[in-house]
Structures are given as C-alpha cells and as structure tokens.
Amino acid sequence: MPFLSEWVEPALFLDWRGVRVYHCYRDNSVNQGPLVYCFTVCPFCEPGHCCGDCPALDDSRRCRAVFDLRGLPGYAERQRHADLDDEHREFLKTAIAVGSLTAEGVVSSYPA
C-alpha cells in the first residue's frame, strides 16, 4: 500500500513573549521523535533544510530559525531542573528575555 507522507506541523515547545519555539525531529520525521537539543522558531524549517521563505536567513544564507540549544549563550549556566524539558523551557525563556533568541531566530550564538 503506498504511503503518503504529508507535512505535519511540528509540536510547539514554547510560546512565550511572542516567540514560538517548535521541536525538530530526527530525520525530519515526526515518527522518529523530537530531538533533545534542536529547535526551530519557523515551523517550516528543518535541520539542513530552510523553507527559504523565513526572515531568518542572513548574509551567509545560514538559517537562523533552526538552532541547537547548547549553542546559545549561557547554556552552561542554566538553571537545572529535574525535568529536562522544563529545564530547556526555562533556558529558552532566559534566551528570549536577554534577546539572544527572537521570533526570527538566533541573534547570537557561540560556535559549536
């Protein structure tokens, strides 16, 4: 039986101060489950594939919408929580509060 793959909106991880952060998925497939450290502020962008229509493209044509949480400033100093998702939510709120993460993507990050 042919399998029709259709686009599914990624799960919203955080919606805070106008910034919506979505999960990224292993092999860009929802069935593979969400990646732990990879997120995107554009639901149409995936790791290694930019929708080409998001405002996150900078001069280097690197998509800023998709990011690795660990690349954001301050990750090493984050507050620890028992639940990793809670920990990451709190950290993302901090990143949004200090302006390193915006609705258009990552503004500043450390090289991996």
Structure tokens at 14: 């955080």
Quote the least distance from Cβ 54 to Zn ion, whole Å: 3
Q: CA 38 to CA 8: how far, in whole Å?
A: 17
- Closest CB to Zn ion among residues 14, 94: 14
- Closest CB to Zn ion among residues 63, 69: 63
Binding site for Zn ion (CB under 5 A): 42, 44-45, 50-51, 54, 56, 63, 65
- Closest CB to Zn ion among residues 13, 44: 44
Going by C-alpha positions, the residue among 50, 1, 46 that lies closest to residue 26 is 46
- Closest CB to Zn ion among residues 42, 95: 42
Quote the least distance from Cβ 95 to Zn ion, whole Å: 18
Quote the least distance from Cβ 80 to Zn ion, whole Å: 31
> Which residue of the chain is nearest Zn ion when measured via CB?
54
Question: 52: exposed, middle or buried (C-beta count within 10 Å: 0-12, 13-18, 19+)?
Answer: exposed
CB 95 within 8 A of CB 47: no
Q: CA 64 to CA 7: how far, in whole Å?
A: 21
Quote the least distance from Cβ 58 to Zn ion, whole Å: 10
